[in-house]
Structure 1
Amino acid sequence: MVVAQVLSGVRPEPIRLTGVVVVLLAGSAVAFAAGRDGPGRAVGAFGAAMAVGYTAEWIGVRAGFPFGEYSYTSLLRPQLGGVPVIVAAAWGGMGLAAHAVATAIVRESGLKRWVAGALALTAWDLFLDPQMLRLGLWKWADEGPYRGVPISNFAGWLVVSLLVMGVIDVIVGRCAAAASGGLVAIYGVMTVMETLAFAAVFEPPDRGVAVAGGAAMGTFAVLAWRRGWPR
């Protein structure tokens, strides 16, 4: 996954590797979850998170809710109902990683853990949306204040991420008494790679996004590590 991320940052056509990065992210997340919770629960949690993300995106491109009015371009394929399948896989993979981070921070299963995970997953979008807009993978009807991204997008991410955390926690929460070190590591790797990419690799660099995303995701990564990772 790291190698694919590096190549996507230095090659002149990074879009071709975007799907590879997400597939490796999702596969790694499911593998680490299976090591802790068993294959059945891991696949079930990933599939449920993927379904929630896809449903929200399907509604979003039609109704402009909950993220705001936007649409996908034709660059990411295959698409199902106007939503790239790889986008749903990203919700599933990073959903598992963010839930592990929340599990390390909040030991008890329940609403507090869901909120922590939702915030951790939404923090990722401080990187994701600016990066994908650079690549022309989707577009907003009305530009917003954060590198063209409207505030409604982040409000929508919090709501959908809360649902993602809820379905994952229902499936694995009681079993996941301890956070998965591998899943927390995935979150940390994404934090470091995205920060470095925006700070020094992308052309032109965007250090504002590097600071905002790095601080947000980094806070959750450090909290997860300090409160018991690895275990």
Structure 2
Amino acid sequence: MTSATAAARWAPAPAARLPLVLAVALVLAAIAYPLTDGGGRDAVSWTIVLLGSAVSVTSAAAAHGARTGVALLALVAVTAVVFEAVGLATGFPYGPYGYSGALGPTLLGVPFLVPLAWLMMAWPSRVLAAVLTRRVRPGRRRAARVVVAAAVFAGWDVVLDPQLVQAGYWTWAQPRPGLPGIDTVPLTNLAGWLLAGLVLMTLLDLAVARTARPGGRRTDVVDAAPLLVIAWMVAGGALAHAVWLGLPGSAAWGAALTAVVLAVLAVQARRR
């Protein structure tokens, strides 16, 4: 195979470039978030979530085929509505909370924006988990990927939830005890997200196995967009929380979680 043929083979196809374009647009919208307020900030929040959802679906489709993209959308939407509707009605598994009217239309009391936020978070969490567990023995890798993806999914919310409580999108009836430095979100929320993450990532792993086309595109091309999204939303979010939003506790947790991921990646790089 000539070098030109090899380069053509691995050149990103339009389907692989689209998620990256959407991810860059999301980053620009996220930069605008702390610089706006009121209705403008609400519009930016919707833009971020819609772009993030599109990144997840298009990335999954580019990596594994259109069936996987559709399966991701349907699976996350149903799982999110079920967990959130049960949570609103019973307080399980997150603790008692309620949404404000700022998020617009609802289904079973769950604002439409919420399943889309789950979708924004789900695929990048799985992609990052796959990177973090790639050195695990093959026989244990699948289970490790599910567990790590659930932890990443919950960890992302540690940074995101205080920001959205501050924005007035929902409130907690019993916000304490919480993580050190975060007094607006209870520990029960973290436990709930870990449970929801385990269920969702298990189902998602099964769905990908059943729907993925044989082969697939080069991983580093199609994974760039979801990895950019999660890196910016957690690490960049931590910076925004510290400098502009007055949320030092969640900023510290975002920085700590980012450091853990970087440490794992550094260990992997040394073992090559």
TM-based fold match above 0.5: yes
Q: TM-score, normalised by structure 2?
A: 0.76
TM-superposed deviation, 1:182:
2.4
Deviates more, 1:140-149 or 1:125-134: 140-149
Alpha-carbon RMSD across the aligned residues, in angstroms, is: 2.2
**Which of these residues, 150, 158, 166, is aligned with residue 126 of structure 1?**
158
Equivalent position SS for 1:54 = helix
Aligned length: 226
Equivalent position SS for 2:56 = helix
Pair 225,37 (structure 1): closer, same or farther in 2 beyond 3 Å: farther
Q: TM-score, normalised by structure 1?
A: 0.89
1:129-180 residue CA offsets vs partner (Å, 9 max, x unmatched): 1111101111111121332211111000000011111111112258589572
Aligned partner of 1:93 in structure 2 is: 120
TM-superposed deviation, 1:221:
5.8
TM-superposed deviation, 1:32:
1.6
Q: Distance in 2 between matches of 1:89 and 1:41?
A: 17
The answer to whether the Cα contact below 8 Å between 2:235 and 2:254 also exists between their aligned partners in 1 is no
1:67 aligns with 2:67: no
1:5-44 residue CA offsets vs partner (Å, 9 max, x unmatched): 1222101221222111100011012112211111211221
The answer to whether the Cα contact below 8 Å between 1:195 and 1:213 also exists between their aligned partners in 2 is yes
Aligned partner of 1:102 in structure 2 is: 129
Pair 117,22 (structure 1): closer, same or farther in 2 beyond 3 Å: same
**Which of these residues, 208, 219, 240, is aligned with residue 197 of structure 1?**
240
The answer to whether the Cα contact below 8 Å between 1:188 and 1:221 also exists between their aligned partners in 2 is no
1:97-139 residue CA offsets vs partner (Å, 9 max, x unmatched): 0000111122355321111001101111111111111011111
Deviates more, 1:159-168 or 1:179-188: 179-188
Aligned partner of 2:7 in structure 1 is: none
Equivalent position SS for 1:142 = coil
Aligned partner of 2:37 in structure 1 is: 12
Equivalent position SS for 1:110 = helix
Aligned partner of 2:19 in structure 1 is: none
Aligned partner of 1:152 in structure 2 is: 188
The answer to whether the Cα contact below 8 Å between 1:33 and 1:183 also exists between their aligned partners in 2 is no
Uncovered stretches (5+) of structure 2, i.e. residues with no partner: 1-25
Equivalent position SS for 2:103 = coil
Uncovered stretches (5+) of structure 1, i.e. residues with no partner: none
1:44 aligns with 2:76: no
The answer to whether the Cα contact below 8 Å between 1:46 and 1:168 also exists between their aligned partners in 2 is no
The letter for the 2-side match of 1:141 is A
The percent identity for this pair of structures is: 27
Equivalent position SS for 1:23 = helix
Q: Distance in 2 between matches of 1:170 and 1:224?
A: 26
TM-superposed deviation, 1:89:
0.9
1:136 aligns with 2:168: yes
